[in-house]
Amino acid sequence: MNADQAPTFDGGCTCRFVRYRMASKPLFVHCCHCRWCQRETGSAFALNALIEADRVQVLQGEVDVVDTPSLSGKGQKIARCPKCRVAVWSNYAGAGDAVRFIRVGTLDEPDRLPPDIHIFTASKQPWVVLPPGTPAVAEYYKTSQRWPKESLERRTALIASGAQR
Ligand SMILES: [Zn+2]
Ligand SMILES: [Zn+2]
**Which ligand minimizes its atom distance to the CA of 45?**
2
What is this structure's pTM? 0.93
Sign of CA dihedral 97, 20, 79, 39: negative
CA of 160 to the centre of ligand 1 (A): 35
Query: 148 C-alpha to center of ligand 2: Å?
Result: 21
Ligand with smallest separation from the Cα of 140: 2
pLDDT tens readout for residues 19-52 = 999 999 999 999 999 999 999 999 999 999 999 9
Tell whether the model's pLDDT for residue 164 goes beyond 80.
no
CA-CA distance, 55 to 37, in Å (whole number)? Answer: 24
Q: Residue 163 — pLDDT band, cuts 50, 70, 90? A: low
Ligand nearest to the CA of 120: 2
Q: Is the model's pLDDT at 2 over the cut of 80?
A: no
Tell me the pLDDT band of 18, cut-offs 50, 70 and 90. very high
**C-alpha to C-alpha distance for 10 and 23, rounded to whole angstroms:** 9
DSSP-based three-state secondary structure for 95: coil
Q: What distance in angstroms lies between residue 40's CA and the mean position of ligand 2's atoms?
A: 9
Q: What is the DSSP letter of 58?
A: E
